[in-house]
Amino acid sequence: MSTVIDSESSAPAEEAPIQSFLVTFIIRRYDPEVDAEPRWVDYDVEMYPTERVLDALHKIKWEQDGSLTFRRSCAHGICGSDAMRINGRNRLACKTLIKDLDISKPIYVEAIKGLPLEKDLVVDMDPFLDAYKAVQPFLVANSKPPAGKERLQSPEDRARFDDTTKCILCAACTSSCPVFWTDGQYFGPAAIVNAHRFIFDSRDDAADVRLDILNDKEGVWRCRTTFNCTEACPRGIQVTRAIAEVKQAVLRGGR
């Protein structure tokens, strides 16, 4: 246990121990080799307020049931692999602190919606990534940069797409979208965010191609502006605004 020095007496004073709590997690489990349907399973876990839902999943997997299946990599909000529904809201498990949840009630954890469920908290990300790849999420330039130099861009031009560079492809936005739940063909917010990142990049020459792709019946016009995507984004990206800017660019016929 660490100690602090009492400034009045210069005597070491004991720090109060951090209080732990028993928290109930109810997790929607599904093993395709055993279960006909997903089932909810309760786990009681000793947690500290500064721990995250990801820590609870680790404790359950390492101390109670090794078969619990979920994705995570960085554990610090960078890789985007642990998006899940926590108390009915899409969040990253590694960014959701226990002290920010109401632990007087059980905490419900389930896989994100709208993508095929594979096992427990793991979904098949292929349809999500296929939509992402379809919008050409890379710089397309028809000319070479000046010899030995970078392509220059003004700070104002860079600012046009700054917000959408922050995407970590977690799928929290797309899997919170009611249109995506009901229409498996809709590109979804994340694909449009990543198209926006290049459509508004002054160094890119394929904005017209991407706008044409997103003018499809399953493109930007399927968005119903429900703002679920913006609320779900753990990076604070103004997703609905980005979609609106792409819609305006489609109507203008260019960036």
Chain residues that interact with ligand SF4, rule: CB under 6 A: 80, 167-173, 189-190, 193, 232-233, 235, 237, 239
How far is CA 223 from each of CA 88, 180, 182, 209, 226, rounded to the nearest angstrom?
21, 9, 12, 20, 8
Among ligand FES, ligand SF4, none, what does residue 92 contact (CB within 5–8 Å per kind)? ligand FES
CB of 44 to ligand SF4, least distance (A): 31
- DSSP calls for 93-109: GGG-BGGGS-TTSPEEE
How far is CA 164 from each of CA 33, 137, 234, 243, rounded to the nearest angstrom?
40, 12, 13, 11
CB of 137 to ligand FES, least distance (A): 19
Is the Cβ of residue 83 or residue 213 nearer to ligand FES in the bound state? Answer: 83
Is the Cβ of residue 60 or residue 92 nearer to ligand SF4 in the bound state? Answer: 92
Is the Cβ of residue 86 or residue 249 nearer to ligand FES in the bound state? Answer: 86
**Binders of ligand FES in range 69-88 (CB under 6 A):** 72-75, 77-82
Structure tokens at 14: 């004991």
**Does residue 195 contact residue 135 with C-beta atoms inside 8 Å?**
yes
Among ligand SF4, ligand FES, none, what does residue 74 contact (CB within 5–8 Å per kind)? ligand FES
